[in-house]
Each structure stands twice: as C-alpha cells, then as structure tokens.
Amino acid sequence: MVRSSVWVPPLPPHLAVPQGAKDWREVLRSYALQTRELMLAHPWMAAMPTPVIQLTPSRLAVADRQLAALAVCGLDADSVMAAFRAVTSFVPGSAQSEIGLRDYQERHGWASGDETREALAPQMRHLVGTGRYPAFERYALGATRKDDRAWEFEFGLDCVLDGIGQRLGI
C-alpha cells in the first residue's frame, strides 16, 4: 500500500449530509455549503492536496453519500463520477479564491471591499479608461453584490448543479 507523506485529518463529524436530504441536488448542495464553511474557518485546508487522493474513512463516507445520491438517478458510473467531481472541484476552487482575497486584503490592511476598491481605484480607472474592458466596466459600475461572497458561491454552485441536472436529464 502506498502512503502519502502528507498527513490529512479526517473530516469533522459535522460535515455530513442531513438525513432529510431528498434528492441528489440537496445532497450535493449540502456537502458544498458545509465544505465551503469548513474551508473558510480553516484556511490551511485550501493548501492541502485534493481530498480525492487523500482517503480517510470520513472522506470516503461523505463521498459515498454523494455518489449514492447521484447513482439512484439511473446514471452510469462514469456520469456519476463526473458529476460528483464537477461539484467537488468547484467548492475548493471557489473557497481558495475567497480565502486568497481575504488574505490579500489582510496583508494590505484593508478591512472591506470598499477599502480594497478605493486602494485599487487609480489603477482600475487607468485600465478601464482605455476602453478595452467594457464588460468589466459594466460589472464595476452596475454590480450590487461585489462583497457578498456567500451569494456568489451559492449562485455559482446552483449554476453547476443546474448544468449537471440539464446535461444528465435529472
């Protein structure tokens, strides 16, 4: 048996899908929301190797519950795994981005999104002023949820889940 030299702690017992979850979407969504919260509370986890490679009984139990929820939809094994991996890849990628932004703000002493934007405004005005980035300018001027990371995460997650449902007809 090959063992990794990286110690990976088991997932905490609270990272479990609620027993009342009725369908694949609720199961995967619950996992994603809990995992994001866990990673934000323990940012060092964002630097860990992918959990799929580092197997523990707890990690395998969480994955098994999600795979089982997808399998009952009548999908073939390859489709089940691809859908599972789409969600389990989205979550750490999104959380890592959020943690990275939070760390960047902390290093610069910026306590909010407003302070960050104010500090970066001269460079942003210069870049947007070139006229080469009209879509970004529309976002910068029109977005109302720039600092609502939970909403952004859930919207992105729902896009992934909607795509899985549409693609696989479930």
Between helix 24-41 and helix 57-71 the angle, nearest 10°, is: 150
Residue found under tokens 């720039």: 146
Q: Is residue 125 part of a domain?
A: yes
Q: Is residue 15 part of a domain?
A: no
Burial 76-90 (b: 16+ CB within 10 A, else e): eeebbbebbeebbeb
Going from the first residue of the chain to its last (170 residues), give the mean pLDDT of each consecutive group of 10, the final group possibly shorter.
43 58 90 94 82 72 91 94 95 95 97 96 96 96 96 98 95
User: Do 57 and 130 fall within a single domain?
Assistant: no
Q: Is residue 156 part of a domain?
A: yes
CATH number at residue 47: 1.10.357.10
Query: What is the per-residue pLDDT for 51?
Result: 54
Query: What is the per-residue pLDDT for 16?
Result: 62
Between helix 149-168 and helix 77-108 the angle, nearest 10°, is: 170
Residue found under tokens 């992918």: 50
CA distance 20 to 30: 11
User: Do 123 and 50 fall within a single domain?
Assistant: no
Token digits for 42? Answer: 């323990």
Tell me which residue range forms the domain holding 68.
24-109+149-168
Query: What is the per-residue pLDDT for 3?
Result: 44
